[in-house]
Amino acid sequence: MAAPAGAPLFSRTAHVQRAERRQAIAKWLTFAMAVSMILPLVAIVGYLLYRAAPSLSWEFLTDVPRRGMREGGIWPAFVGTLYLVGLSLAVSAPIGVLAAIYLHEYAKDNWFNRLINLAVINLAGVPSIVHALFGLGAFVYAARFGYSILSASLTLAIMTLPVIIASTREALASVPTAFRAACWNVGASRWQTIRGVVLPNSISGILTGVILQVSRAAGETAPVMFTGAVFFKAVSRGDLFPYRLTDQCMALSMHLYTVSTQVPNVKESIPYATAIVLLGSVLMVNASAIALRVWLRNRKRW
Amino acid sequence: MVSESGGRAGIGAGAAASAGAGRAVFRRPIASRLAERALETLIRLSGVSAIVFVLAIFFFIFREAAPVLFSPGFKLSEFLFSTQWFPTSASHVRYGTLALTIGSLSVTGVAIALAVPFGLGAAIYVSEFCGPRLKEGLKIVIELLAAIPSVVWGFIGLTVMSRITIALTGTPVGVNLLNGGIILALMSVPIIVSIGEDALKAVPDSYREAALAMGANRWQTVYRVLIPAARNGLLAAVLLGVGRAVGETMAVLMATGHAVNVPHSLLDSVRTLTANIAAELGEAAAGSDHYRVLFLTGTLLFVITFAVNLAADLAIRGVRKR
Residue B8 lies in a domain: no
CB-based burial label for B164 (10 Å; 0-12, 13-18, 19+): middle
Residue A34 lies in a domain: no
CB contact under 8 A, A196 and B247: no
Nearest to A168 by CA among A123, A115, A106, A101: A101
**Whole-structure pTM value:** 0.84
pLDDT of residue B272: 86
CB contact under 8 A, B254 and A118: no
Residue A244 lies in a domain: yes
Q: Is the pLDDT of residue B73 over 80?
A: no
Which residues of chain A register pLDDT less than 50? 1, 3
CB contact under 8 A, B217 and A283: no
CB contact under 8 A, B46 and A282: no
pLDDT digits (tens, 9 = 90+) for B1-46: 333 443 344 444 444 444 444 555 667 788 888 888 888 888 888 8
The answer to whether residues B143 and B88 belong to one domain is yes
The answer to whether residues B177 and B36 belong to one domain is no
pLDDT of residue B113: 92
The answer to whether residues B37 and B98 belong to one domain is no
CB count, 10 Å around CB of A6?
Answer: 5
The answer to whether residues B134 and B41 belong to one domain is no
Cα end-to-end distance, chain B, whole Å: 33
pLDDT of residue B14: 44
The answer to whether residues B22 and B144 belong to one domain is no
pLDDT mean over B44-61:
89
The answer to whether residues B192 and B62 belong to one domain is no
Q: Which residue has the higher pLDDT, B301 or A71?
A: B301
Domain total in chain B = 2
CB count, 10 Å around CB of B24?
Answer: 8
The answer to whether residues B34 and B101 belong to one domain is no
Nearest to B265 by CA among B110, B84, B57, B74: B110
The answer to whether residues B172 and B232 belong to one domain is yes
CB contact under 8 A, B11 and A286: no
What is the domain range of residue B252?
81-321
- Residue B204: CATH number of its domain: 1.10.3720.10
Residue B41 lies in a domain: yes
Residue A42 lies in a domain: no
pLDDT digits (tens, 9 = 90+) for A221-232: 888 888 877 777
Nearest to B248 by CA among B117, B81, B110, B142: B110
pLDDT of residue B313: 80
For residues B260 and B100, is the Cβ–Cβ distance under 8 A?
yes
Residue B2 lies in a domain: no
CB count, 10 Å around CB of B176?
Answer: 26
The answer to whether residues B64 and B199 belong to one domain is no
pLDDT of residue A245: 74
CB contact under 8 A, B12 and A192: yes
Residue B38 lies in a domain: yes
What is the domain range of residue A189?
75-298
- Residue A173: CATH number of its domain: 1.10.3720.10
Q: Which of A44, A116, A120 sits opposite B160 (nearest CB)?
A: A44
For residues B268 and B177, is the Cβ–Cβ distance under 8 A?
yes
Domain total in chain A = 1
The answer to whether residues B93 and B211 belong to one domain is yes
Helix intervals (H) in chain B: 14-17, 30-65, 76-81, 98-124, 132-147, 150-156, 162-169, 177-201, 205-213, 218-221, 227-229, 231-247, 250-255, 273-280, 289-321
Question: CA separation (Å) from B322 to A110, B212, B232?
Answer: 19, 22, 10
d(CA B269, nearest CA chain A) in Å: 16
Chain B residues touching A253 at Cβ < 8 A:
149, 151, 250
Residue B245 lies in a domain: yes
Chain A residues touching B286 at Cβ < 8 A:
141
d(CA B91, nearest CA chain A) in Å: 28
Give the Cα separation of B165 and B266 in Å (integer). Answer: 11
The answer to whether residues B288 and B218 belong to one domain is yes
Residue A37 lies in a domain: no
Residue B137 lies in a domain: yes
Q: In sequence order, what are the residues at sequence separation of 6 or more whose Cβ sits closer than 8 angstroms to the Cβ of residue B257?
A: B173, B175, B176, B180, B269, B270, B271
Nearest to A164 by CA among A243, A253, A100, A108: A100
pLDDT of residue B20: 46
Tally the residues of chain B. Answer: 322
Tally the residues of chain A. Answer: 302
Q: Considering only alpha carbons, which residue of chain B is nearest residue A186?
A: B8
pLDDT digits (tens, 9 = 90+) for B107-166: 999 999 999 999 999 999 998 888 888 888 888 888 888 888 888 998 888 888 888 888
The answer to whether residues B239 and B172 belong to one domain is yes
Residue B114 lies in a domain: yes
Q: Considering only alpha carbons, which residue of chain A is nearest residue B61?
A: A134
ipTM exceeding 0.95, yes/no? no
Q: Which of B204-208, B237-241, B262-266 has the highest mean pLDDT?
A: B204-208
Residue B1 lies in a domain: no
d(CA A6, nearest CA chain B) in Å: 23
Q: What angle do CA A168, A172, A175 make, to 5 degrees?
A: 150
% of chain B at pLDDT higher than 70:
90
